Structure 1
């Protein structure tokens, strides 16, 4: 039996257990491959909401805009104030109570989000699953049966394979529908497509919409859109790039109160005179359980490093009054940081730079601005090298042996 089948079968088994035991709480699913995380919320064994992945805010806006267009355009979302942990579900409840949307629309939003969430983890090679019993969440309108979830996941997976997309990652590394298509060769695109198709693709594929967004805009299944784009991707006419999630929609509320707080995995320092780089690293790593210490003044920040003793250091190469080579040499001469992984952040990735970095004790290079996939790869390489997970799914869930 393949790893993929083992993972899918295990998830189905655990969902059925939750249903049988009429459990209420949160199922947290974490990918060891991509470090992404998803949350499924249950009430008496029925699924009532889900969220997670790398674009939870974009995911929410996409579903609400599609199924509740009038409310979305009215500006009501800018006036509502969520108060519970799961802000998306709280907004749906308030929208129904204020007669902004119908229960049918609310259920459609929930189903749409759950489909995306399930798609996000169902094809992962290795997963960790953790069950957290808790109080019911606010959303009590849309109840999905476990059988329905399983059937939809299996149908989606079969459609994906039937479209010839089962081995997509073999030629599109780290493929995800959360990537955004952008046209790299407009002249060749114009030569390969009709004027109408060329105009439509040029409008849709500017690197601002994910493949999920494009599929919804085109009113086509995701697998159909990707299959039609594959020849253009293979020819280098269209490229897939990472884009950030939409901003958290309620800045007056601290986002960390509404997100799942995974166990802290380690402290990472980012030494860069640009606060934007530090913020980028935080946005990528903090939701996954890492603590990030941003230092913009390297000379004054040395005391901060000594006080906190980070597990890994990202170090900018070019800074005022010093540079990454000098600071790396200084850190390596300090007993506290002799064995700490130090990653040079730079846009100067030449053979000479790499040799010089090795000579002063740097562990590796990372281009600026840091891309999420490459950043996660380095962090996992140096901080989780001794925490490699087996191919099966480790479960830490009391519900597998006792009633909820």
Structure 2
């Protein structure tokens, strides 16, 4: 039995509790492996990532020559050795890629794995504290751990953009085609392609996926999907399902609309004592979907649950009768072509039972020639739906036979509330929220005398009080903390050369860059005129702290403001683990 879980919450908990270990998730025969050290992500992969995945990102980054040698590099490793990390390491060792290019490619592969992980709505997952990354994967010299909140910030924004397209697109691995090229000349609302460009694109498609098309256009697949969305919505272009292996990956989760039907449920009017009787209350209809494709079932389930139906899915048609008698559905969706027993025969069997005499049966098939009124009548089906279909088409045919969802249907077809999502982005809390979830929070007060007026950070007096408090706390709870001091050695030169205003702007910019790289439960403060301190809760591993320090220094030096003004900051850092300043 699969376990429902919140993908984002699991990552946030791992970061907040500074966990180290291996998180493994399995869903639909695909496995995701995420490795953590001190609440930071070391690596993330899934079992369908392949040489083609690595080549895709190399080609996207205009590294065609490197992409060509990847298969040859792969031959150097035994089958059981983790392949992509090994190839990545060798590409760096043989100087095919620079250290920055290796890190960039690793980031692409991690984000690729995490994107599909965030789309999961259920799965079996296990946490192993005793399995570090080094025991499973070939590590890369000088590679960085990744701050989870930074990864999530970008991926959640990206997921929301995909969700706005989910009425038509369910996966970047869907294959594009144009059933009627004559429609290319039609004007499409919100379409940004002229007919000539669209015609060239249609010739290029030939069953290629959105991801493959993105390489030809030298664009990210999300941007390509946004570009083609109006033409898919107008049915000028169509999408086929992914190839069998890739269709095991999760579909784009649909946006969850605001439940306007229950808007006043928690705010009853004081003078209105009316309560609907049981017969007047809205019934939740139950739908059973029978299809041998888990991807199709996931998509149908997501679409119909959005419309407030209860959905049971069956991927083994030979076991469907037992499930039907158990759940007694109000409507059944049946795929026409299935192994073991086809939908036509299954419909006839179902209709022999008096229990389902009045239950609507709707046939679904990608073979439109089989979906004729004569075949439907012979099988006992009341209607049919041709694949591929859009969310609105599925809603319309189901609502046609289950009438009580008319209000929901109006809301879905008139205008979807695309701003709502079942996931909330990571919020950057203020300094009062610097706390570990496993212990009583220790706060830094926001009194005016405790704040540095230039950067808005806690000043030294406030920081010393805070450090004294968490030292006592760590002694009692056996937890830990570490400090990283960042010093601007030439700040006085900037002031003398460019003036106090530019000095203050530099300090604010450094503050902004540090805040972008730390976790929600870490604290950033201004220790002295030219020195900052970051307090990391429950991180004491020297390697991780060295990685963090270097990343902070690099990010500050490469910030747009400094580059634009040609400011060369001379930075240094000091790391202190489990100790007070001066101890």
Q: TM-score range by the shorter chain?
A: 0.5 to 0.7
Q: Given the alignment of the two structures, is residue 48 of structure 1 paired with residue 42 of structure 2, yes or no?
A: yes
Q: Given the alignment of the two structures, is residue 90 of structure 1 paired with residue 89 of structure 2, yes or no?
A: no
Q: Separation in 1 of the partners of 2:23 and 2:86?
A: 19
Indicate if the aligned counterparts of 1:63 and 1:112 stay in contact, CA closer than 8 A.
yes
Indicate if the aligned counterparts of 1:38 and 1:51 stay in contact, CA closer than 8 A.
yes
Q: Secondary structure of the equivalent of 1:51? A: strand
Unpaired segments of 5 or more residues in structure 1? 248-279, 285-310, 316-327, 333-337, 372-390, 393-399
- Deviation of residue 367 (structure 1)? 6.0
Tell me the residue number matched to 2:172. 177
Are residues 89 and 112 of structure 1, via their aligned partners in 2, closer, same or farther at CA, if it must alter by over 3 Å? same
Query: Normalising to structure 1: TM-score of the pair?
Result: 0.54
- Deviation of residue 88 (structure 1)? 1.3
Q: Separation in 2 of the partners of 1:189 and 1:53?
A: 39
Are residues 220 and 281 of structure 1, via their aligned partners in 2, closer, same or farther at CA, if it must alter by over 3 Å? closer
Q: Separation in 2 of the partners of 1:166 and 1:346?
A: 29
Q: Secondary structure of the equivalent of 1:356? A: helix
- Deviation of residue 312 (structure 1)? 8.4
- Deviation of residue 111 (structure 1)? 0.8
Q: Given the alignment of the two structures, is residue 218 of structure 1 paired with residue 213 of structure 2, yes or no?
A: no
Indicate if the aligned counterparts of 1:49 and 1:139 stay in contact, CA closer than 8 A.
no
Q: Separation in 2 of the partners of 1:87 and 1:183?
A: 37
- Deviation of residue 109 (structure 1)? 1.6
- Cα distance per residue 1:348-404 (max 9 Å; x no partner): 99986344343799xx988699x9xxxxxxxxxxxxxxxxxxx99xxxxxxx98999
Q: Secondary structure of the equivalent of 1:101? A: coil
Greater relative CO (CA pairs within 8 A, separation 6+): 1
Tell me the residue number matched to 1:60. 54
Indicate if the aligned counterparts of 1:57 and 1:245 stay in contact, CA closer than 8 A.
no
Q: Separation in 2 of the partners of 1:351 and 1:128?
A: 30
Tell me the residue number matched to 1:139. 139
Indicate if the aligned counterparts of 1:46 and 1:145 stay in contact, CA closer than 8 A.
yes
- Deviation of residue 160 (structure 1)? 5.4
Tell me the residue number matched to 1:10. 9
Indicate if the aligned counterparts of 1:56 and 1:245 stay in contact, CA closer than 8 A.
no
- Cα distance per residue 1:150-208 (max 9 Å; x no partner): 223323433554x5x54433x23x71223232223222124445354124422443222
Q: Secondary structure of the equivalent of 2:6? A: helix
Q: Secondary structure of the equivalent of 2:216? A: helix
- Cα distance per residue 1:292-314 (max 9 Å; x no partner): xxxxxxxxxxxxxxxxxxx9866
Tell me the residue number matched to 2:549. none
Higher gyration radius (CA): 2
- Deviation of residue 231 (structure 1)? 0.8
Tell me the residue number matched to 1:231. 230
- Deviation of residue 140 (structure 1)? 2.3
Are residues 76 and 112 of structure 1, via their aligned partners in 2, closer, same or farther at CA, if it must alter by over 3 Å? same
Are residues 351 and 179 of structure 1, via their aligned partners in 2, closer, same or farther at CA, if it must alter by over 3 Å? closer
Indicate if the aligned counterparts of 2:15 and 2:38 stay in contact, CA closer than 8 A.
no
Q: Given the alignment of the two structures, is residue 358 of structure 1 paired with residue 353 of structure 2, yes or no?
A: no
Unpaired segments of 5 or more residues in structure 2? 188-192, 247-291, 297-313, 327-333, 354-360, 368-386, 388-421, 424-436, 439-478, 480-537, 540-583
Matching residue within 101, 107, 110 for 1:111: 107
- Deviation of residue 14 (structure 1)? 2.6
Tell me the residue number matched to 2:202. 202
Q: Separation in 1 of the partners of 2:128 and 2:235?
A: 45
The residue correspondences of 1:342-353 to structure 2 (distance < 5 A) are 347=337, 353=345
Indicate if the aligned counterparts of 2:7 and 2:117 stay in contact, CA closer than 8 A.
no
Are residues 244 and 81 of structure 1, via their aligned partners in 2, closer, same or farther at CA, if it must alter by over 3 Å? farther
The residue correspondences of 1:2-401 to structure 2 (distance < 5 A) are 7=6, 10-17=9-16, 20-21=18-19, 23=20, 25-30=21-26, 37-42=31-36, 45-52=39-46, 56=50, 58-67=52-61, 68-74=63-69, 76-77=72-73, 79-126=75-122, 129-133=125-129, 134-135=131-132, 136=134, 137-141=137-141, 143-147=143-147, 149-158=148-157, 161=160, 165-169=162-166, 171-172=167-168, 175-192=170-187, 193-209=193-209, 211-244=210-243, 347=337, 353-358=345-350
Q: Aligned residues, how many?
A: 293
Q: Separation in 2 of the partners of 1:355 and 1:181?
A: 32
Indicate if the aligned counterparts of 1:345 and 1:366 stay in contact, CA closer than 8 A.
yes
Tell me the residue number matched to 2:402. none
